[in-house]
Amino acid sequence: MIHLEGEGWRLAWDGARQPFAVLIGGDGWAAELTLAEAEALRAAVADLVGQHAALVDQLMAEEAIELELERGVWWLAVEGDREQWDLRVMLSPAGGQRAIEGSWPAPASAAFTRALQQLGGQP
């Protein structure tokens, strides 16, 4: 089992727990994900944060930006400025399945994102 957490975020992976092997959470909320959902989230977050990083040099210091990404069952958004941003996620699977919505404020969003990328080979 891997358990990572910091102020305002949590991330845990336990391959023995099926079908929900991954737990994500923020202040006052948590949700369990399947391995496939967690891997899809990891890839989508990496792409969205990469898009933000690619635009940082084009933003003025006081300029704000919001980027959204919809991929498969996930919708994500980052909102902030050059230095820090909030991350919002929504899982909207097929009918009859559970849905999830959560967010992390800055700087918890950056810490959660780094931790999620560390699990790249796990889930």
The model carries a pTM of 0.91
Q: Is the alpha carbon torsion for 27, 51, 42, 40 positive or negative?
A: positive
Q: What is the pLDDT of residue 4?
A: 95
- Nearest-angstrom CA–CA distance, 6 and 109: 10
Cα 77–78–79 angle (5° rounding)? 120
Tell me the residue type at 37: E
Q: What is the pLDDT of residue 110?
A: 96
Q: What is the pLDDT of residue 121?
A: 59
Q: What is the pLDDT of residue 108?
A: 98
pLDDT digits (tens, 9 = 90+) for 16-73: 999 999 999 999 999 999 999 999 999 999 999 999 989 888 888 788 899 999 999 9
HSE-up (13 A, CA, CB side) for residue 64 = 6
Helical residues (DSSP H) of 16-60, grouped into ranges: 35-55
Q: What is the pLDDT of residue 123?
A: 45
Residue 106 tokens, joined? 């800055």
* Distance, CA of 121 to chain centre: 16
Contact between 37 and 46 under an 8 Å Cβ cutoff? The reply is no
pLDDT band at 90 (very low <50, low <70, confident <90, very high): very high
> What average pLDDT does the structure give for the chain?
92
